[in-house]
Amino acid sequence: MQDNVFPWFHIVQWSSEELPTNTVLKWNYKSIKEKVQSLTLNKQVFLTNCPVSRIQGFSLDEDDPDCIIPFAEWAAALLSQMDELNNIRYELVPSRMSESIFWQSYFNAIRNIIIKDVSLFFFLLF
């Protein structure tokens, strides 16, 4: 399934990095995608639900050796999948925020959605 829904599987993995060790994730692609799509209903919804934020080590430069997460590749994939995202980006960049801030805020909002949406199953190692 992961290859059919790029970049969602990878974004879920990235979003889950700070969850406790030995956590098994069960995620619903359809539910997460619907919630993420709701972020781009209009400009005000985006600005409310994607507050300006930063991601440590973030870069949209695919040649940046310090950036180990392919944010530019994910952004391109999401833009190709979601027309509303294209529209909101066009409205906000660069008039309200930079390209970098737009994507950092958006990916942080996605991360928050995923963390709230995933079903967490903890197991103990004996």
Angle at 73 between CA 24 and CA 117, to 5 degrees: 30
The token pair that represents 39 in the structure block: 């972020």
Q: What pLDDT sits at residue 1? A: 47
* Residues 30, 75: Cα–Cα separation, whole Å: 19
- Residue 3 in any domain: the answer is no
* Residues 5, 37: Cα–Cα separation, whole Å: 15
* Residues 114, 95: Cα–Cα separation, whole Å: 29
- Residue 43 in any domain: the answer is yes
pTM: 0.88
- Residue 51 in any domain: the answer is yes
- The band of 3, judged by pLDDT with boundaries at 50, 70 and 90, is low
Q: What is the pLDDT of residues 34-60, one digit of tens each?
A: 999 999 999 999 999 999 999 999 999
Number of structural domains found in the chain: 1
Q: What pLDDT sits at residue 11? A: 95
CATH number for 25: 1.10.3970.10
> Is 69 strand, coil or helix?
coil
Q: Are 11 and 74 in contact (CB under 8 A)?
A: yes
Q: What pLDDT sits at residue 100? A: 97
pLDDT at 27 over 90: no
> Is 17 strand, coil or helix?
coil
Q: What pLDDT sits at residue 46? A: 98
Residue 69's domain comprises: 8-122
